[in-house]
Amino acid sequence: MRQTIREIEVNVAYRWFLGYSLTEKIPHFSTFNKNYERRFKNTDLFESIFREILARATKCGFVDSSNIYIDSTHIKASANKKKYTKVEVDIQAKHYQEKLEKEINEDRVKHGKSPLSEAKNEEVKKKKK
Residues 26-49 have pLDDT tens digits of 988 888 888 888 888 888 888 999
How far is C-alpha 75 from the chain's CA centre? 13
> Which pLDDT does position 57 carry in this prediction?
93
Residues 31, 33, 39: CA angle, nearest 5 degrees: 100
Contact 92, 61 (CB under 8 A): no
Contact 26, 9 (CB under 8 A): yes
71 located within any domain: no
Which residue stretches of the chain have pLDDT < 70?
72, 75, 89-96, 119-124, 128-129
| Nearest-angstrom CA–CA distance, 97 and 106 | 14
Looking only at Cα atoms, what is the longest distance across the chain? 81
> Which pLDDT does position 120 carry in this prediction?
63
> Which pLDDT does position 90 carry in this prediction?
61
Q: Number of folded domains in the chain? A: 2
79 located within any domain: no
70 located within any domain: no
**What does pTM read for this prediction?**
0.36
- Burial, 10: exposed, middle or buried (Cβ in 10 Å; 0-12, 13-18, 19+)? exposed
> Which pLDDT does position 93 carry in this prediction?
56
Backbone angles phi, psi at 29, to 5 degrees: -60, -30
SS3 101: helix
> Which pLDDT does position 20 carry in this prediction?
92
117 located within any domain: yes
User: Do 53 and 90 belong to one domain?
Assistant: no
Question: Domain range spanning residue 109?
Answer: 86-128
